[in-house]
Amino acid sequence: MSEPIRVLVTGAAGQIAYSLLYSIGNGSVFGKDQPIILVLLDITPMMGVLDGVLMELQDCALPLLKDVIATDKEDVAFKDLDVAILVGSMPRRDGMERKDLLKANVKIFKCQGAALEKYAKKSVKVIVVGNPANTNCLTAAKSAPSIPKENFSCLTRLDHNRAKAQIALKLGVTSDDVKNVIIWGNHSSTQYPDVSHAKVKLQGKEVGVYDALKDDSWLKGEFITTVQQRGAAVIKARKLSSAMSAAKAICDHVRDIWFGTPEGEFVSMGIISDGNSYGVPDDLLYSFPVTIKVKYFGDYFPCSFTKLDIFLDSRSFKFKY
């Protein structure tokens, strides 16, 4: 077995983390032969709950978990990290203006970015989940100037998965039969789900989604609004925000960073634009279609489809345009 990697999950006493931590610990994300030191960070008032999460992880008796550290201290949580999954953020409450939400989260993610800068490995992969995810990710990246900006990404995979699921439900196939949907923009109701390049497997053959459905009005109307408003619909029905599906999307996102995307497929990720792709201004955190290729023996594999590709090796990954 390889050396343990050190993985941080913030907001670790929350409902998303509760659905996420077992999958990390059992090898579903980083592989069945990758030992893990799992670091759980939350605010001081949540330490009692976090102790319960720690006990449950211990009781799972997961062989890959070499250590589990529960803490409310940034110098402990961010030290020597290989991966940081920043789930925790200030939630939007009734009556709260968006500017108030942004102000509260800027403070959180400036502090966490500074902690990454001070304590983490410079090769750390940072995945921001807490909303507003695009803004929070950019804030963290700007607060950690010595960590390559290409190491920061935010979660739009939940929207990507929602789009795949809607197509699959409409056609009566599984989500695995649908590939290459795109989420453009922000993880919010302003996002744009795009199936112009999407394919679906029907009767053993891949066909374009538009050709498969033959329902342009649905694809250009109800499909888009359903994906855009899915989070709000879950909250209305559940009285809580998405947790199980968010955790699954985090696993998908991190696994693709770690192992690369399947040949011929691309996924959606919020990453920092260089200003040369798809007309998106420089230095904007935006969801793009992305392919990820693993680096072996010093050579990069060729990429496909998108002008904006992430390449990955064991220490760092970078964009190539």
Let me know: does 39 contact 69? Beta carbons within 8 Å. yes
Residue 98, annotated as binding a ligand = yes
Residue 42, annotated as binding a ligand = yes
Which residue, 95, 12, 90, is CA-closest to 46?
12
Residue 181, annotated as binding a ligand = no
Distance separating alpha carbons of residues 100 and 12, to the nearest angstrom: 24
Residue 26, annotated as binding a ligand = no
Q: What number of residues does the chain have? A: 321
160 is catalytic: no
What are the helix (H) ranges across the chain? 15-25, 47-60, 74-77, 98-119, 133-142, 157-171, 209-213, 216-219, 222-228, 230-238, 244-259
Residue 186, annotated as binding a ligand = no
Residue 162, annotated as binding a ligand = yes
Q: Which of 160, 187, 197, 253 does the annotation list as catalytic?
A: 187
Coil, strand or helix at 278: coil
Residue 315, annotated as binding a ligand = no
Residue 207, annotated as binding a ligand = no
Measured between its terminal Cα atoms, the distance across the chain in Å is: 35
Annotated binding site for substrate, which residues? 92, 98, 131, 162
Annotated binding site for NAD(+), which residues? 42, 105, 129-131
Residues marked active site are found at 187
Annotated binding site, which residues? 42, 92, 98, 105, 129-131, 162
